[in-house]
Amino acid sequence: MNILVMNCGSSSLKYQLINMETKDVLAKGICERIGIEGSRHVYSAKDKDKRVIEKAMPNHSIAVNMVLETLIDKEVGVINGINDIKAVGHRVLNAGKYYPNSVIVDENVKNAIRDCFDLGPLHNPANLTGIIECEAAMPNIPQIAVFDTAFHQTMPPKAYLYAIPKEYREKYNIRRYGFHGTSHSYVSKRLVKFTGLDINNSKVIVCHLGNGSSISAVMNGKCVDTTMGFTPLEGLMMGTRSGDIDPAVVEFLMNKEGLSVKEVMDILNKKSGVLAMSGISSDFRDVEDAANNGDEDAINTQEAFSYRVAKYIGAYVAAMNGVDAIAFTAGVGENDSAIRGLVCKYLGYLGVVINPEANKVRGKESELTTPDSKVKVCIIPTDEEMAIAEETVALISK
């Protein structure tokens, strides 16, 4: 059974075609600069050479059709016809209050995604366009929406309520939503399995540390808290996002620098975080190199990042009254042993004992702690495309 996973951005379309029996990625690619001059389609298929097709893609409809044509192409394609695709799983950013799970797309689902445009102005419109174009190109193939927010819908009010007037909260649905839900769902389940826990009696913390970073507390398989909020700006410091900050800084900067709200939000989203604190790069590899050469700003950045991760872990241990296992995932979590080591230095009070040799591992499902450690700390690689594909199969098999 082949599942096509689609992730549509405002000017891009990323996709993977996965054989769910063998878990092989048959083909994957990205259409870039859709609607902009210089658009191109980068395509790679299993056992075939990578292809870069430079062709105008004035809109998503043309991009979707180009992807399908490539997948069935006699020379570079991997399937005989469109009907070899059983279903399409779409990554959708925000389902607002509407859906706590993935759903098969119908008119109601499309209306709900449309109704949440305000909550994900950059992503939701593009996600909906992707769905509509796939429906048009593959009219008999089910389309599934997999929401980044869905896994976090089980949070209790005490975790998702903001302390602002009810009038505004209710009028505009302002609350903590949380993001990276597909990753948190996938990694928490793998962690429970990998550590031999009973999901119905488990307390785990997932640290998704990548360019965007978030942590979730998952109790008995259900999310009870997460660090991202109304938007992905809240919580941890990230590659270019500030994370938690006193909102008064926004007004202060506007007044002092004569900036608009949009300009300050742009600074907080795109020019802050690891990039701003290090003054070097948003990429932890560059920061680590500089730290190893004694750069003080780089050292402070690594320490501030790890300190914040450790503080949230502490908060979530309190929220769940304990923790059985902790997972590191995503680019930094899976690969950066320095950051993992710095975070784990704070976890002695939990009885965490790290095996330094095991902590050298990169990108592989593995345990970092010694057998006598009271809490297991593991690397669990995330695979958001596979998670979307699995959700899709689960829904169409019901």
Count of H-run helices and E-run strands, the chain? 14, 14
Q: Which stretch binds ligand AMP (CB under 6 A): 38-46, 52-60, 65-73, 279-287?
A: 279-287
- Binding residues for ligand AMP, rule CB under 6 A, total 11
- Alpha carbon of 64 to those of 134, 146, 226, 333, 390: distances in Å? 7, 18, 34, 33, 22
User: What is the set of active-site residues?
Assistant: 148
Selected from 15, 147, 186, 284, the binder of ligand AMP by CB under 6 A is: 284
For ligand AMP, give the closer residue by CB, 285 or 374: 285
Query: What sign has the CA pseudo-torsion 53, 32, 11, 390?
Result: positive
* Minimum gap (Å) between residue 395 Cβ and ligand AMP: 26
Q: Does 283 sit near ligand AMP (CB under 6 A)?
A: yes
209 is annotated as contributing to ligand binding: yes
For ligand AMP, give the closer residue by CB, 78 or 332: 332
How far separated are the first and last CA of the chain, in Å rounded? 15
Query: In the Cβ-directed half-sphere of 257, how many Cα atoms lie within 13 Å?
Result: 12
Q: Does 214 sit near ligand AMP (CB under 6 A)?
A: no
Q: Does 96 sit near ligand AMP (CB under 6 A)?
A: no
For ligand AMP, give the closer residue by CB, 283 or 365: 283
Classify burial at 297, counting beta carbons within 10 Å of its beta carbon; exposed 0-12, middle 13-18, buried 19 or more.
middle
Selected from 9, 77, 181, 239, the binder of ligand AMP by CB under 6 A is: 239
The string of DSSP codes covering 194-244 is HTT--GGG-EEEEEEESSSEEEEEEETTEEEEES--SSTTSSS--SS---S
Q: Which residues contact 259 (CB under 8 A, 6 or more apart)?
A: 253, 267
Q: Which stretch binds ligand AMP (CB under 6 A): 7-15, 150-158, 281-289, 351-359?
A: 281-289
332 is annotated as contributing to ligand binding: yes
For ligand AMP, give the closer residue by CB, 210 or 229: 210
* Minimum gap (Å) between residue 35 Cβ and ligand AMP: 24
Q: Does 285 sit near ligand AMP (CB under 6 A)?
A: yes
114 is annotated as contributing to ligand binding: no
For ligand AMP, give the closer residue by CB, 57 or 332: 332
DSSP letter at 162 equals -
* Minimum gap (Å) between residue 183 Cβ and ligand AMP: 9
Q: Which residues contact 139 (CB under 8 A, 6 or more apart)?
A: none
SS3 per-residue string spanning 50-115: CEEEECCCCCHHHHHHHHHHHHCCCCCCCCCCHHHEEEEEEEECCCCCCCCCCEECCHHHHHHHHH
For ligand AMP, give the closer residue by CB, 244 or 283: 283
Token representation of residue 115? 């109704």
Q: Does 181 sit near ligand AMP (CB under 6 A)?
A: no
* Minimum gap (Å) between residue 321 Cβ and ligand AMP: 30
285 is annotated as contributing to ligand binding: yes
334 is annotated as contributing to ligand binding: yes
Classify burial at 38, counting beta carbons within 10 Å of its beta carbon; exposed 0-12, middle 13-18, buried 19 or more.
exposed
| Bridge partners of residue 216, in order along the sequence | 206, 226
Place of tokens 């701003």: 276
Q: Answer yes or no: are the C-beta atoms of 174 and 230 closer than 8 Å.
A: yes
Tell how strand 325-329 and strand 51-54 pair up.
unpaired
Q: Does 236 sit near ligand AMP (CB under 6 A)?
A: no
Token representation of residue 376? 């297991």
For ligand AMP, give the closer residue by CB, 148 or 336: 336
Place of tokens 């992905």: 232
384 is annotated as contributing to ligand binding: yes
Residue whose CB is nearest to ligand AMP in the complex, by number: 331
Q: Does 210 sit near ligand AMP (CB under 6 A)?
A: yes
* Minimum gap (Å) between residue 233 Cβ and ligand AMP: 16
* Minimum gap (Å) between residue 15 Cβ and ligand AMP: 17
Q: Does 332 sit near ligand AMP (CB under 6 A)?
A: yes
* Minimum gap (Å) between residue 215 Cβ and ligand AMP: 14
Q: How many CB atoms lie within 10 A of CB 236?
A: 23
14 is annotated as contributing to ligand binding: yes
Token representation of residue 61? 């409809």
Selected from 32, 148, 336, 383, the binder of ligand AMP by CB under 6 A is: 336
Which residue ranges make up the site for ligand AMP (CB under 6 A)?
210-211, 239, 283-285, 330-332, 335-336
Which amino acids are annotated as binding site for substrate, given as ranges? 91
Which amino acids are annotated as binding site for ATP, given as ranges? 14, 208-212, 283-285, 331-335
